[in-house]
Structure 1
Amino acid sequence: MPILLVVRHGRSTANTSGVLAGRAPGVELDAHGTAQAEALPDRLAGLPLAAAVRSPVLRCRRTLEPLLARRPELADIVDERISECDYGDWTGRKLSELMDEPLMATVQQHPTAAAFPGGESMREMQRRAVAAVYDWNERIAREHGPDAVYLMCTHGDVVKSIVADALGLHLDLFQRITAEPGSVTAIRYTPLRPFLLRLGDTGDLSSLAGRAADAPDGGTAPHGGTVPAGGADGSGQAVVGGGA
C-alpha cells in the first residue's frame, strides 16, 4: 500500500494572532507560512507524487499552490473529509478566552467526549479523516501501484487524528502528538499495519525516495499534552486550538 505524506498547512494569520480559525473563510497564510509553502516543492523534489489531495479551507489551498504550479501533472483535488474540525460556536474566538471554557479540559484530557457547540465532535473528525485516508490508499494503490506516494494537505487536529490511528492510539491520547504548521508527516501503510516514517518533519524529505518499495521496519517483510492543532504559534505548547 502507498506512502501518505500528511502536510499541515503553512502558518496562518490566525496562528499568529491567537484565534481559533476553524473553517472560517478568508484566513490566509502569514509571511512565514507563505515561505513554508514556497519551500514545499523543493522539499518534495525527489518524490514522485501520484496525487495531491487537500482540505477545502483556503490556507490549505494556499499551501499547495506553489507545489501544483511546479507539478502541473497534479490536479487540485479537494476532499471535504479532511477539512478542519468544525469548531462550531468556538470558531473565530480568541484562544485566550477559550482557555476558561469548561469544555477545554475535556478537549485536552478526554477528547473522545468532546463535542463543540454548534459543531462536530472530535470522534466525528477522526472518523471522517481516517475513512478518507483508507479510501485514498485503495484508490492510489489501484491506479498507481502499491509503492506510490501521495499527499494530503490538512490541519493540525486532523494530522494528529490520522497519526493516532496509524499508531493504534486511542483518541484520548492524540493530544500527545504535535505537528507544526508547514510540517510533513509520512506514513507507510501495509496490509497488516501502518508505519510512521516521519512525524512533523520540517526539513528535507529526499531520503523518503524509494522507501515505498522498501520494507519499513529494517528488513522484515512489510506484512509482518497539547490542545486542538497543537498551539497557535505551532510550537506544540499547550495553547488552545492552533487548528487555525
Structure 2
Amino acid sequence: MTTTFFLVRHAAHDRLGRVLCGRMPGVTLGREGRAQGEALAARLAGEGLAAVYASPLERAQETAAPLAARAGLAVEILPALNEIDFGAWAGQSFDDLHGDPAWTGWNQARHVTRPPGGETALEAQARVLRGLEDLRARHGEARLALVSHADVIKLVIAHALGLGADGMQRFEIGPASVSVLVLGAWGAKVESLNERAFLGHHA
C-alpha cells in the first residue's frame, strides 16, 4: 500500500525573494500567484486527489483553494505543513539578515543552528515527516495534495533521498512547483522534483 503526495510550494507573493516572511501573517498572493494557483489546479485536475491539505498560512491556503475547488474538495488545514518557525527573523529583509552571524550559521549548518526564538531544521523536518506518516495511516492507498513552503518541502525530499538536512540546499523548489513523493511501509521514493505548471511553461 502506497500513498502518493503531491508536494506543492505556494504560489508567488510580492515579498518573494526580498523578505524572510516565515510565519508572519498577511502574506497573500498577488495577481501572478493567483494565476499560478489556477495553473496548478489544471496540472493536478486529472490526478484523482482524495484530499487537499495546506499550511495554516494565507499564501498556502490561497494556493490550495483552486486545487481543492477543481477536485470538488475542501482545503484542510494541517499545522505539520507550516513554514519553519524563524522566530525573530520573520519579517526581516534578506539584506538586513546578511549581516547577522547567526543567519550565516543557519545557512552553513542548518541542522544545528536555531533561529532566535524559532525551531531548528531538524525539528521542522521531524514535524512534517510525522504529519506525512499520519496522513498515510489515515488515507492509505490515496493521492493527496499538500501545499506547503520551500524549505519544508526540501526537508521532506532531502530525507527521502537520504540526505542530511543541509542537503536541502542542493536542489530547487520554486514557487507554484509540484514534487511527487510516494510513501510506503518500505520507505519513501521521489517520483518528480520541482515541476513547473504555471505561466511561461509553454513559452
TM-score, normalized by length of structure 1? Answer: 0.77
Per-residue CA distance 1:1-52 (angstroms, 9 max, x = gap)? 1111100000112205x01111111111122211100111111121100111
Per-residue CA distance 1:81-122 (angstroms, 9 max, x = gap)? 110111111010011111111122222221111111022222
Distance 2:85 2:47 in 1: 32
After TM superposition, the structure 1 = structure 2 runs for residues 215-234 of structure 1, keeping only pairs within 5 Å, are none
The residue type equivalent to 1:4 in the other structure is F
1:115 matches 2:85: no
Distance 1:172 1:94 in 2: 22
Return the offset for 1:71: 2.5
**Gap regions ≥5 residues in structure 1:** 205-244
- Name the residue aligned to 1:166: 160
- Name the residue aligned to 1:2: 3
Give the SS at the match of 2:26.
coil
The residue type equivalent to 1:13 in the other structure is D
Give the SS at the match of 1:112.
coil
Distance 2:106 2:170 in 1: 12
The residue type equivalent to 2:159 in the other structure is D
Distance 2:35 2:112 in 1: 37
The residue type equivalent to 1:201 in the other structure is E
1:92 matches 2:91: yes
Return the offset for 1:167: 1.0
- Name the residue aligned to 1:35: 35
After TM superposition, the structure 1 = structure 2 runs for residues 46-57 of structure 1, keeping only pairs within 5 Å, are 46-57=46-57
- Name the residue aligned to 2:201: none
Return the offset for 1:193: 2.6
Distance 2:175 2:5 in 1: 17
Per-residue CA distance 1:104-157 (angstroms, 9 max, x = gap)? 22222211111110222221111101110111112110xxxx2x2111100011
- Name the residue aligned to 2:14: 13
Larger Rg: 1
Find runs of 4+ consecutive structure 1 residues off by over 3 angstroms. none
The residue type equivalent to 1:93 in the other structure is Q
The residue type equivalent to 2:55 in the other structure is S
Distance 2:7 2:125 in 1: 14
Distance 2:197 2:37 in 1: 13
- Name the residue aligned to 2:190: 196
- Name the residue aligned to 1:79: 78
Return the offset for 1:168: 1.4
The residue type equivalent to 1:130 in the other structure is L
Distance 1:169 1:189 in 2: 17
Distance 2:43 2:70 in 1: 12
Aligned length: 197
Distance 1:95 1:105 in 2: 11
The residue type equivalent to 2:179 in the other structure is T
**Gap regions ≥5 residues in structure 2:** 199-203
